[in-house]
Amino acid sequence: MVGLTAALALATGCSPDDDRWSLGAVGDLKVDPAGQLATLGRIRTVLQQRGWEITDDSTFADGTRGKLSAIHPSTSHTTVVTTTVDRQYLAVSLGSPCHLPAPGENPLRN
């Protein structure tokens, strides 16, 4: 099995005019270049087992890099996992849909 180590994580939030907000996070997983496509395949399998729908599962023209995108049908959470150009990492992004807080609640402004 290819070892994975988290190298970076960053969370961001946004708030449009109607006070809806969403949350996203990005990070890198260090993965040996020779095992990156197999690792994408294992991630795809786990996401499918957990009820995620795969929206993109592609290998780039060079045959050594790829991309996996998925959405969870009941939560609308999304994820994209792609190999980096230098083939040292898998770049991972996660996103949540916009959320309208209860009246008087605004997590980004309180």
pLDDT in tens, 22-49: 677 888 999 999 999 999 999 999 999 9
pLDDT of residue 18: 59
Model confidence over 53-86: pLDDT tens digits?
999 999 998 888 999 999 999 888 899 999 999 9
pLDDT of residue 25: 80
Q: Which two tokens stand for residue 39?
A: 């690792």
CA distances from 17 to 20, 21, 67, 77, 106 (A): 8, 10, 33, 22, 12
Q: Name beta bridge partners: 27.
A: 9, 92
Q: pLDDT at residue 11 above 80?
A: no
Place of tokens 């988290």: 6
- Higher confidence at residue 61 or residue 106? 61
Q: What pTM does this model have?
A: 0.73
Rounded Cα distance, 53 and 97, in Å: 16
- Higher confidence at residue 66 or residue 97? 66
The strand ranges marked E within 1-110 are 5-14, 22-30, 53-59, 66-71, 78-83, 89-95
